Structures are given as structure tokens and as C-alpha cells.
């Protein structure tokens, strides 16, 4: 059985297509179907790895080392299944394959054209993802907004698939219904126009998901159904919520899952969302706060603060708090501040715990190092992720080992004490300007030291975690740092790469730095041991 659900967006970007797609997947999975999800990004970048996180949001890394859009993270978190490289496509990737095939004479002398050859390639890719995941239902989210030139060829793929198997392919349009404050009424016209743009390319919406600040009422539901050619019961209300984890449950209040199954000529196999509901109850019953600070730099976009660049870190911290029975209060701290006003670092004592997430380049790093020093000296539970681990070793080298100019060669190539240096094969790639998808990426094994804090948290001797970096700890400094008290508690199996450092538990309640990104493996129902341990340590300390 192969069924396909296309999720497209109307009116504006950011309407929550990714969460809608993930929630639909969750519902159908919980009704007993094997589900996978595919993300299509219409831009020409081959992957998300070369994009600025402020502009594009987080770069999510898959187990097989793909640098993808953050929606792949939403799918992995909601579905709790591994989503791999085949489930992510961009126009760059699609065009590249078609052009390569043309160069290899694989089109047998035909004129290769945008239509049908690009949609054919898209369809092949959707089917490959479905086969690899052995999925019964594949959800395909088309990025961007209907009406943009960029996503027309993907809608064309949906049209072709629907024409061939009308009972197996449906389209969900996620649209936005504004309520202008001076008018005070929910307006349907932008959505009507968006549906018309969809119809113009030969695609009909089977469902309209009505995003708004408020639920949609009966008159507007009827109006949209009539003008947009959608059954009234298939116009689904999707008002704003406090927690995205409520969304599958809200959708089910309108029997969205069974309505989708009916359109696909399927029937539910089991009672749905049992564990999910229990999790949401846990979320709603957590009242006592835990205050967590994230010291980073990718927050500001003009006059707006956008935490999207750290979404997996933020969600991981939430799961850890909820499963510890606490309500997470997460604050963004721009590390530039501690460079301009060093005395302000003392305000960090107001946080129960601190995280320095991944990053690149020099801006704000001295501020991050000051924050790490403060956390170390004042015994504030600290978790450093990737750059946050590298900077923790630099801080330790400078202030405990007395190597005043200790640095990473990413920032100071001429330092006398390159505590963090480039992985040799990475140096070669950088010299050749091979930047795209060339970092140390994806899941690698790591062996945990007996008796260490992290070994106790993972309850395992070997772990697999996902990476995305070019630099690493310089082993020439290991002895000196160990003598000064730093514990090397996680190493690659060959002992060449330092994956985890920590402080002894009798000296600090929780001070851990990891070269990998545990945030990519946190799941709502299975909080990651490191984040869980961080929050737990901050509660016992308080």
C-alpha cells in the first residue's frame, strides 16, 4: 500500500506546515500505520548547511549526515523514527540529479525539460524515500507558499501523482486567516486566493487547515468550503496553541485522522494517541519553573528575536524539564552583552542552568567564554554543545591551566596554544573551498569512561551521537588538562577524537561539554539523558 499526503502552504510562510505535517503523521502512526515524511525546500541551495541560521533557522543533521531543514527535526521528534537523507530534497538537489543524468546520456537523446523531467525526478525521490522507510503513508511537505514560482514544479509532481492514483494522493492546504485588529473579524479572502492559485496549477485541496489566532466559526467554515471547493467537514480549525504538542490532540477533536483515512480509502487500526495524551498531561501539570539560559548569538533578525536557530536545543530542554516535573522558562542571552558589559555576567546566577549551543566564527565568543567561566566557578549546571564544548576547554586551558592565549584555530590561527584545532582532512577541504556538506557529519560512536557522570546518565558504555563540526580538541593538551582536573569522559573508539569532557562530580554538580549535538536525538517521550541530567542537577542544586 502506498498513500501520499501533500502538505502545502497558503497566504504566508511560517503558518506551521512542518508541525501540521508532523502532527498528521503522528496521528496516522498512532492509528497503526507506518508513516514517513519528506520535506521539499524549493531554494537552489543543495542543502541547508550553507545557509545562515538567522535567516533559515536551525540546520538539522540526520543520522546519515545530511544537513537539512529544521522540519526534518520536527518529523523525527513527532514520529520518533529516523528520517534520512532521501527524505529531504531541494531544487538544487533535484536539478543537479537531472542535469547529471542528462550529461550521462541517460535521457536517450530526448530534449530534457523542466516539465516533465523535474517533476518525474521529484516523484522518483518521493518513492525512494517511501521504499527506504517501508512506509504505508508518506507525507510530503512542499516548502514556501502556493503561488510562488519556486514551488510550481513540486505542485506539478503532486498533480501528476494524483492523476495517476486519485484514491492514493490527497492535498492538505495549511492557510492563514488574519483577524485585523481594526476590523475585528476573521477574513477568509487571502485563503480563497491561495486556494485559487493552487487550483490554477491543477491541484485541488482535499483539506483546508485554518491557522489563525482563533478557532474558525461556522459561517466562515461554510464560506471557505463553498468558495474553495472543499467539503465543509474537511475545513479544519487550527488556532494558535501554547505548546505545539497539543496540536495532534486538537486535530483529533475534529476527527482529522479518520477524515484523512476516509479520503485515502483506509480505516483506523487502533485507538490513537494514548502515550501522546499522557505526555501532554505531564506537560500541562508541570507548574514549578526551572529557569534555563541559552547563551548564543543567532537570535536577532532586525527588530525581532527569533529562537528558530536553536529549535532542537530548546525542545530538548523542554522535554528534560517536563520529564523532571518542571515548567521550563527558557531565556535567550546574547553573548555579545558580556563583551560590552563584562560585569553583567554576574546576572547568570539567576539561572538554574546554562547551555552554550553550537556556533561558528568569532562574534560573541569571548562573551560565551566569560559565561562558561562563571558557570564553572559558581557551580551552575552547564552543558556545552559542540562549540560550547570547545569553548569550555579553551576556558579551562586559559583560567585553570594558565595558558592565557589558549584558543581555537578557527578564530586565532596563530595562537601559541591551539587547544582546539582543525581535523586534518578538514584543512584540505577548506583549502579547496569545499564547504558544502564536508564537515564531520552524522552519527559516530563514542565510548564512555567508567564511573563518569555521562556514563551514569546514559547507562551505556557506547553511544552514537550526531556531529557537525570541522574542529576538535587537540590531544597534545590532554595530559596537562587532565592533571588540572578535567575529565575526558567520552572518546571516539580509536581514542583520537575527544567527544566529551566533564568536571569531577565532587567539584561541580554538572559541567559537561560534548563535541556532538545531543539535541538531534531528544524525543518528546524520551528526553535525552544529557539534557535530563542537566535539569535534574539544577533542581537538586536549587
Q: Which of 353, 386, 401, 446 is catalytic?
A: 386
Please, what is the minimum distance in Å from the beta carbon of residue 357 to ligand GLN?
A: 7
- Asked whether position 297 contacts ligand GLN by CB under 6 A, the answer is no
CA distance 24 to 19: 8
Annotate 344-379 with b (16+ C-beta within 10 A) or e (fewer).
Answer: ebeebeebbbbbbbbbbeeebbbbbbbbbbbbbeee
Q: Which is nearer to ligand GLN, 259 or 470 (CB)?
A: 470
- Asked whether position 470 contacts ligand GLN by CB under 6 A, the answer is yes
Which residues inside 449-468 make contact with ligand GLN, applying CB under 6 A?
468
Q: Which is nearer to ligand GLN, 351 or 387 (CB)?
A: 387
Assess contact for 56 and 66: CB atoms under 8 A.
no
- Asked whether position 264 contacts ligand GLN by CB under 6 A, the answer is no
Strands 440-448 and 487-491, how do they pair? antiparallel
- Sheet with 487-491: strands ordered across: 327-334, 289-296, 353-356, 382-385, 511-514, 498-502, 487-491, 440-448, 462-469
- Asked whether position 120 contacts ligand GLN by CB under 6 A, the answer is no
Please, what is the minimum distance in Å from the beta carbon of residue 137 to ligand GLN?
A: 34
Q: Which is nearer to ligand GLN, 334 or 390 (CB)?
A: 390
- Binding range to ligand GLN, per CB under 6 A, among 14-22, 151-159, 352-360, 481-489: 352-360
Q: How many residues bind ligand GLN (CB under 6 A)?
A: 11
Q: By rule CB under 6 A, what string of x and - marks binding of each residue 397-436 to ligand GLN? A: -------------x--------------------------
Q: Which is nearer to ligand GLN, 207 or 298 (CB)?
A: 298
499 is catalytic: no
- Binding range to ligand GLN, per CB under 6 A, among 101-109, 257-265, 469-477, 524-532: 469-477
Cis peptide bond prior to 116, omega within 30° of 0:
yes
CA distance 429 to 265: 51
- Asked whether position 34 contacts ligand GLN by CB under 6 A, the answer is no
- Asked whether position 444 contacts ligand GLN by CB under 6 A, the answer is no
Please, what is the minimum distance in Å from the beta carbon of residue 521 to ligand GLN?
A: 15
Position among 147, 358, 384, 490 found at the interface with ligand GLN (CB under 6 A): 358
- Asked whether position 469 contacts ligand GLN by CB under 6 A, the answer is yes
446 is catalytic: no
Q: Which is nearer to ligand GLN, 10 or 359 (CB)?
A: 359
Residue nearest to ligand GLN (CB): 358
Q: Which is nearer to ligand GLN, 107 or 360 (CB)?
A: 360
> How far is the first Cα of the chain from the last one, in angstroms, to the nearest whole number?
54
Q: Which of 117, 421, 517, 528 is catalytic?
A: 517
Which residues inside 367-386 make contact with ligand GLN, applying CB under 6 A?
386
The shares of helix, strand and coil residues in the chain, as percent rounded to the nearest 5, are 45, 20, 35
Which of 224, 229, 277 minimizes the C-alpha distance to 253?
277
Q: Which is nearer to ligand GLN, 263 or 465 (CB)?
A: 465
Please, what is the minimum distance in Å from the beta carbon of residue 384 to ligand GLN?
A: 9
Assess contact for 335 and 407: CB atoms under 8 A.
no
Which of 427, 455, 454, 456 minimizes the C-alpha distance to 440?
427
Task: Establish how many alpha carbons lie within 13 A of residue 42's alpha carbon, considering only the half-sphere containing its beta carbon.
Answer: 21
Please, what is the minimum distance in Å from the beta carbon of residue 61 to ligand GLN?
A: 9
Annotate 113-133 with b (16+ C-beta within 10 A) or e (fewer).
Answer: eeeebbbebbbebbeebbeeb
Please, what is the minimum distance in Å from the beta carbon of residue 356 to ligand GLN?
A: 9
111 is catalytic: no
- Asked whether position 471 contacts ligand GLN by CB under 6 A, the answer is yes
- Asked whether position 387 contacts ligand GLN by CB under 6 A, the answer is yes
Please, what is the minimum distance in Å from the beta carbon of residue 385 to ligand GLN?
A: 7
Q: Which is nearer to ligand GLN, 135 or 406 (CB)?
A: 406
Q: Is 90 helix (H, G, I), strand (E, B) or coil?
A: strand
- Helices and strands, number each (H, E), in the chain: 19, 23
Burial class (CB in 10 A: 0-12, 13-18, 19+), 404: exposed
Q: Which of 323, 395, 519, 528 is catalytic?
A: 519
Residue 155 CB partners (closer than 8 Å, separation 6+): 8, 142, 146, 198, 201, 202, 203
Sequential DSSP letters for 52-64:
-HHHH---EE-TT
Backbone angles phi, psi at 391, to 5 degrees: -70, -30
Position among 360, 378, 438, 504 found at the interface with ligand GLN (CB under 6 A): 360
Q: How far is CA 182 from CA 125, 178, 179, 213, in A?
A: 46, 11, 9, 15
Please, what is the minimum distance in Å from the beta carbon of residue 359 to ligand GLN?
A: 5
Summarize as ranges the residues that interact with ligand GLN (CB under 6 A): 358-360, 386-387, 390, 410, 468-471
Q: Catalytic residue numbers?
A: 386, 517, 519
Amino acid at each position: 500500500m502506498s498513500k501520499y499526503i501533500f502538505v502545502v502552504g497558503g497566504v504566508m510562510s511560517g503558518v506551521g506546515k512542518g508541525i501540521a505535517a508532523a502532527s498528521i503523521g503522528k496521528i496516522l502512526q498512532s492509528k497503526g500505520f507506518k508513516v514517513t515524511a519528506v520535506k521539499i525546500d524549493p531554494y537552489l541551495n543543495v542543502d541547508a548547511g550553507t545557509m545562515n541560521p538567522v535567516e533559515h533557522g536551525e540546520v538539522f543533521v540526520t543520522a546519515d549526515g545530511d544537513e537539512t531543514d529544521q522540519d526534518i527535526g520536527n518529523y523525527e521528534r513527532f514520529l520518533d523514527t529516523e528520517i534520512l537523507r532521501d527524505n529531504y530534497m531541494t531544487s538544487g538537489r533535484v536539478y543537479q540529479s537531472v542535469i547529471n543524468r542528462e550529461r550521462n546520456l541517460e535521457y536517450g537523446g530526448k530534449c530534457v525539460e523542466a516539465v516533465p523531467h523535474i517533476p518525474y525526478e521529484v516523484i522518483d525521490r518521493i518513492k525512494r524515500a517511501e521504499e527506504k522507510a517501508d512506509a504505508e503513508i508518506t507525507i510530503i511537505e512542499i516548502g514556501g507558499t502556493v503561488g510562488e514560482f519556486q514551488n510550481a514544479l513540486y505542485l506539478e509532481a503532486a498533480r501528476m501523482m494524483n492523476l495517476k492514483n486519485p484514491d492514493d494522493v490527497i492535498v492538505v492546504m495549511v492557510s492563514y486567516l488574519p483577524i485585523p485588529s481594526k476590523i475585528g473579524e476573521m477574513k477568509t479572502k487571502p485563503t480563497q486566493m491561495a486556494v485559487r492559485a493552487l487550483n490554477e496549477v491543477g491541484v485541488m485541496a482535499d483539506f483546508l487547515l485554518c491557522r489563525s489566532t482563533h478557532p474558525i466559526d461556522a459561517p466562515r467554515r461554510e464560506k471557505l468550503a463553498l468558495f474553495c471547493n472543499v467539503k465543509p467537514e474537511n475545513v479544519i480549525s487550527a488556532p494558535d496553541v501554547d505548546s505545539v504538542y497539543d496540536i495532534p490532540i486538537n486535530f483529533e477533536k475534529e476527527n482529522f485522522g479518520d477524515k484523512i483515512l476516509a479520503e485515502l480509502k483506509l480505516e483506523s487500526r487502533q485507538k490513537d494517541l494514548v502515550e501522546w495524551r499522557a505526555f501532554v498531561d505531564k506537560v500541562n501539570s508541570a507548574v514549578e519553573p526551572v529557569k534555563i539560559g541559552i547563551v548564543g548569538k543567532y537570535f536577532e533578525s532586525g527588530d525581532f528575536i527569533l529562537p528558530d536557530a536553536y529549535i532542537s536545543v530548546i525542545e530538548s530542554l523542554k522535554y528534560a524539564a517536563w520529564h523532571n516535573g518542571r515548567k521550563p522558562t527558557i531565556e535567550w542571552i546574547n553573548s555579545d552583552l558580556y563583551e560590552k558589559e563584562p560585569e553583567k555576567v554576574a546576572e547568570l546566577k539567576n539561572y538554574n542552568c546554562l547551555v552554550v549551543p553550537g556556533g561558528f566564527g568569532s562574534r560573541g565568543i569571548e562573551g560565551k567564554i566569560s559565561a562558561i567561566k562563571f558557570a564553572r566557578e559558581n557551580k551552575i549546571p552547564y552543558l556545552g554543545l559542540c562549540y560550547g564544548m570547545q569553548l569550555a576547554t579553551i576556558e579551562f586551558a586559559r583560567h585553570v591551566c594558565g595558558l592565557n592565549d589558549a584558543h581555537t584555530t578557527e578564530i586565532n590561527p596563530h595562537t601559541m596554544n591551539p587547544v582546539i584545532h582543525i581535523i586534518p582532512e578538514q584543512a584540505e577541504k577548506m583549502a579547496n573551498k569545499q564547504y558544502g556538506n564536508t564537515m564531520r557529519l552524522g552519527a559516530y560512536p563514542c565510548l564512555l569512561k567508567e564511573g563518569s557522570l555521562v556514563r551514569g546518565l546514559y547507562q551505556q558504555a557506547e553511544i552514537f551521537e550526531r556531529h557537525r563540526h570541522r574542529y576538535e580538541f587537540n590531544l597534545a593538551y590532554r595530559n596537562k588538562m587532565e592533571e588540572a582536573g578535567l575529565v575526558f569522559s567520552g572518546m571516539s573508539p580509536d581514542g583520537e577524537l575527544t567527544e566529551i569532557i566533564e568536571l569531577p562530580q565532587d567539584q561541580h554538580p554538572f559541567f559537561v561539554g560534548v563535541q556532538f549535538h545531543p539535541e538531534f536525538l531528544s524525543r518528546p517521550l524520551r528526553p535525552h539523558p544529557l539534557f535530563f541530567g542537566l535539569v535534574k542537577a539544577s533542581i537538586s542544586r536549587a
